[in-house]
Structure 1
Amino acid sequence: MKISVIIPVYNAEKYVSQAVESAIVHDEVFEVILVEDASPDSSLEVCKELTSKHDKVKLHQHPDKKNHGAGPSRNLGIEKSTGDFIAFLDADDYYLPNRFEAEKKLFINPEVEGVYGAIGVHYYSEKAKEQYYKLFKDSLTTVYKKHSPKDVFPGLIHKLGSFGLFSLDGLTIRKASMIRKLNPLFKPMKLHEDTEFLFRLSYYLELYPGIIDQAIAMRGVHESNRITKVDSNKTKPAISRTILWNETYKWAKDEATISDDIKIHIKRMQRSFEIANAPKLKKWGMIIKYLVTDYESIKSGLYNINFRYSLIS
């Protein structure tokens, strides 16, 4: 196997060395591609030191040397990669020794286009643990049991609570399949671009479970995490998830082979977060309009959950 590990780097001077070193120790890792995204800290200097120290490490920046975000940075890394497989790693996360154990066996089968595994949580400080333990606890981010590839997309979309989910840090993809079937790759969203990417990826590619009962990588949690700051805020999650479901619906509504049931569910999710994000004075008008224009939703348990969320948010 020749795996290219893509690491977007922004404000990660304290963590990126650990991420790189956790990747290059694996024989399967052919190269580690750092895409430095105009960090205001000393990340660029640290990345340059890593390239001079390790032959496997390659450094790139966007042509205009400006900040473009995690999604476009991953796209640039994929474009520059030369391996047969793509794996991802955030600059403040790290791999564990078992990271590619399942992949070595599963990718022998040419029908396997992607493999996903579980990730754990590492708190970089007691303060970070105090702030974010309620959000992440010590649990695995994982799909709860082994599923056929055909069940992954509907499971992620329709049954997230009972199906579970996986992270980019635990995902390895056959590059040729991804390039051929997925266009665009990552969209330039400020948040949840990885979730939107995983929705589409799981629809187009045959994804198989690897190690899902123990961590193969660790999510690093610290006070300045981009995602933890948003997810721990009481109002911003509704805004970012509205964008996520808007993008998902724009894609899904034009896919002829996605079932009407799933399209309806995506539309409901979109509407529920729009309502949750609305000012209080406007919220009830949106709820009434929702009930009038989508009467069938009243019968749905999923709708009722989303409806209650909209009222209390």
Structure 2
Amino acid sequence: MKISVIVPVYNAEKYVSQAVESALQFEEVFEVILIEDKSPDNALQVCQELAQKHDRVKLFQHPDKGNHGAGPTRNLGLENATGDFIAFLDADDYYLPNRFDAEKELFKDPKVEGVYGALGVHYYSEKAKEQYYRVFGDRLTTVHKRHDPKDVFPGQINMRGSFGLFSIDTLTVRRDVLVKKLNPFFKTHLRLHQDTEFLFRLSYYLDLYPGILDKAVAVRGVHEDNRITKVDTKKINPASTKVLLWREINAWAENENNLPKDVKIHIRRMHRSFEIALAPIAKKWGMLMKYAITDYPSIRSGVYNINFRKNIFLDDFTIRKKE
């Protein structure tokens, strides 16, 4: 295997060395691609030192040296990757020694286009743990049981009850299949949830297989400067970002001719539910009545769906915790 590990770097001078070293422990890792996104700290200097120290580490920046966000930054990494397989790693996260154990066996089968596993959590400080423990706890981010590839997409969009989630840190895909089947890669206009939107579409177009689900293969590093802090401090309303995510998925679904009608209705229902959740309490029932007339199929299916009924009355913390 020749794996390209793509690492977007922003404001991560304290953590990126650990991330890189965790990837370089594997002989299967052909290259670690760092894309520095105009960090306000000394991350660029740290990345330069890593590239000088390790032959397998390659450093890139955007052509204008500017800040473009996680989506465009990962895209730049994909454009420069030359390995046969693609893996992702956030600069403040790290791989565990078992990261590619399942992949080495599963990818011997040519029909396996991607593999996903379980993500653990590590708190870099007591302050971070105090602030985010109620969000992440000590739980694995994982799919709850082994599923056939055809069931991964419905599970990701929560179409058939609770399926569980997998993180982009635990995903490995064949590069040629990714390039052939997914266009665009990450949506450049989404500042948050661009990885979730990417995984939704990816699980539709690619046959993804479960790897190690009962123990972590990578770890989410939680600290006070995580991007989620913007949500926690109310600079960004989590309900509004969910609306944008499902609006994007709904737009894609409407234009995907091979998507079954019931799937399109479910996606539209999810979009509607977060729109209603964002509305002031006095307007919620009016919106329900409006959509009952203009979008009867999705609202009718929503009334009989417990997740829909919960979503329209979610508070900000509940929305954040469900991610």
TM-score by length of 2: 0.92
Match of 1:136 in 2: 136
How much has 1:165 moved relative to structure 2?
1.1
Residue 276 of structure 1: SS of its match in structure 2? helix
Match of 2:215 in 1: 214
Match of 2:110 in 1: 110
Residue 5 of structure 2: SS of its match in structure 1? strand
CA contact (8 A) 2:155 2:161 kept: no
Q: Distance in 2 between matches of 1:299 and 1:159?
A: 11
Match of 1:99 in 2: 99
How much has 1:277 moved relative to structure 2?
1.6
1:72 aligns with 2:46: no
Match of 1:183 in 2: 183
Give the direction of change, closer, same or farther, for the CA distance of 1:41–1:82 in structure 2 (3 Å limit).
same
CA contact (8 A) 1:276 1:311 kept: yes
Give the direction of change, closer, same or farther, for the CA distance of 1:228–1:108 in structure 2 (3 Å limit).
farther
> Which structure 2 residue ranges, 5 or more long, are not aligned?
316-323
Match of 1:174 in 2: 174
CA contact (8 A) 2:169 2:218 kept: yes
TM-superposition CA deviations, 1:74-95 (whole Å, max 9, x none): 1100111111100000000000
CA contact (8 A) 1:132 1:232 kept: no
Q: Distance in 1 between matches of 2:171 and 2:127?
A: 29
Moved more, 277-286 or 104-113: 277-286
1:88 aligns with 2:65: no
TM-superposition CA deviations, 1:240-291 (whole Å, max 9, x none): 0101000001111121221111111110111111112224454332222123
Task: State the identity %.
Answer: 66
Match of 1:245 in 2: 246
> Which structure 1 residue ranges, 5 or more long, are not aligned?
none
CA contact (8 A) 2:269 2:302 kept: no
How much has 1:300 moved relative to structure 2?
4.1
How much has 1:231 moved relative to structure 2?
5.8
Q: Distance in 2 between matches of 1:302 and 1:61?
A: 49
Match of 1:14 in 2: 14
Give the direction of change, closer, same or farther, for the CA distance of 1:28–1:232 in structure 2 (3 Å limit).
farther
TM-superposition CA deviations, 1:79-137 (whole Å, max 9, x none): 11111100000000000000000000011111111000001000001111111011000
Give the direction of change, closer, same or farther, for the CA distance of 1:153–1:168 in structure 2 (3 Å limit).
same
Residue 158 of structure 1: SS of its match in structure 2? coil
One-letter amino acid of the structure 1 residue matched with residue 199 of structure 2: L
Q: Distance in 2 between matches of 1:9 and 1:271?
A: 34
TM-superposition CA deviations, 1:137-172 (whole Å, max 9, x none): 001111111111111111111347521110010000
Residue 255 of structure 2: SS of its match in structure 1? coil
Match of 1:257 in 2: 258
Count residues with an aligned counterpart: 313
Q: Distance in 1 between matches of 2:48 and 2:93?
A: 19
Residue 14 of structure 1: SS of its match in structure 2? coil
CA contact (8 A) 2:303 2:309 kept: no
Give the direction of change, closer, same or farther, for the CA distance of 1:231–1:194 in structure 2 (3 Å limit).
farther
Q: Distance in 1 between matches of 2:301 and 2:238?
A: 26
One-letter amino acid of the structure 2 residue matched with residue 309 of structure 1: N
One-letter amino acid of the structure 2 residue matched with residue 256 of structure 1: N
CA contact (8 A) 1:268 1:303 kept: no
Moved more, 175-184 or 284-293: 284-293
CA contact (8 A) 1:3 1:29 kept: yes
Q: Distance in 1 between matches of 2:304 and 2:122?
A: 33
Match of 2:320 in 1: none
Give the direction of change, closer, same or farther, for the CA distance of 1:91–1:234 in structure 2 (3 Å limit).
closer
Moved more, 19-28 or 269-278: 269-278
One-letter amino acid of the structure 1 residue matched with residue 100 of structure 2: F
Match of 2:309 in 1: 307
Match of 1:198 in 2: 199
Moved more, 265-274 or 286-295: 286-295
CA contact (8 A) 2:302 2:309 kept: no
Give the direction of change, closer, same or farther, for the CA distance of 1:137–1:233 in structure 2 (3 Å limit).
farther
One-letter amino acid of the structure 2 residue matched with residue 174 of structure 1: R
One-letter amino acid of the structure 1 residue matched with residue 218 of structure 2: A
Give the direction of change, closer, same or farther, for the CA distance of 1:22–1:111 in structure 2 (3 Å limit).
same
Q: Distance in 2 between matches of 1:152 and 1:108?
A: 21
Match of 1:55 in 2: 55
Moved more, 274-283 or 98-107: 274-283
Moved more, 223-232 or 258-267: 223-232
Give the direction of change, closer, same or farther, for the CA distance of 1:133–1:229 in structure 2 (3 Å limit).
farther
Q: Distance in 2 between matches of 1:142 and 1:83?
A: 26
CA contact (8 A) 2:99 2:217 kept: yes
How much has 1:312 moved relative to structure 2?
5.1
